[in-house]
Structure 1
């Protein structure tokens, strides 16, 4: 849909897509490396339609527990989930892993839809872009150091 705000961050990681995928989809370990996201009540299997619940802690009024539905799961290439309030503000968050120079080009993006999408996302665009870039850096650090 044209006109929907999209936030994107790209990180090159010196690990294979399989290695990146393993960390990216180990939802139980997010609290150990992700700066703002901690998953709760982990399902035993992740497939399209799986419900995920996560605690978001950014230090803002948007902090809280959120539910997401997995809409795409293609190991080790692409993961996407969706959540929000239908017709008001919904985000489709995706992660794409592509082989690049012996490592992985990791692209994290989120497309926002709904009546409040533009007025909610645009004023916070630069802060959101930096946040997403920090998530890629944290994933890269986790793969490089294990921490």
Structure 2
């Protein structure tokens, strides 16, 4: 076996191993906040994507149809960092219950992020708003180490801003 074919085989084995490890070592961020409003009021703000720039400190821009199978154009920005644009695909869109999408860096399996907003009404008339993301893929472990804390801070900032906006209108 030549040096070139051996090198290609080694690189291929490393990439396959990294992909496999990335699929089984996903990293997640989970945040939640209680909002003194019904889920329908919170959903109305989430669905009004044209106003995100006015109130949302993390999700700066979102364009597209919030319908299963649709591709969105999204811009996020963690505090103190530059913006990041991506085009996720909507997986779930249940009005006043859940919005979930998945995005990929490059192509599936390199660095994937499945993001969700889940709204759960409580017996007291408030809503628990959960914002979660699970990262997977070959580079998940490495990239999560670089962006995890800033992303979680961005989620929390958005949650607080959403709470303030919805409760102000209630």
How high is the TM-score relative to the length of structure 2?
A: 0.76
Match of 1:72 in 2: 92
Which runs of 5 or more residues in structure 2 are unaligned? 1-22
Deviations, residues 1-44 of structure 1 (Å, cap 9, x unaligned):
6531010110000010010111111111111111032335x34x
1:60 alignment partner in structure 2: 81
Q: Any idea what the Cα deviations from partners look like across 1:121-147, whole Å, max 9, x if unmatched?
A: 13543333222111110100111225x
Structure with the largest fraction of strand: 1
TM-score by length of 1: 0.87
Pairing 1:13-24 to 2, within 5 Å after superposition: 13-24=35-46
Among candidates 149, 163, 170, match of residue 126 of structure 1: 149
Which residue pairs with 2:129 in the alignment? 106
Distance 1:17 1:137 in 2: 16
**Deviation larger for 119-128 or 83-92:** 119-128
Distance 1:104 1:12 in 2: 6
More helix by share: 2
- Gapped runs of 5+ residues in structure 1? none
Deviations 1:30-67 (A, max 9, x none): 11111032335x34x42101111022233425x23211
Rg larger in structure: 2
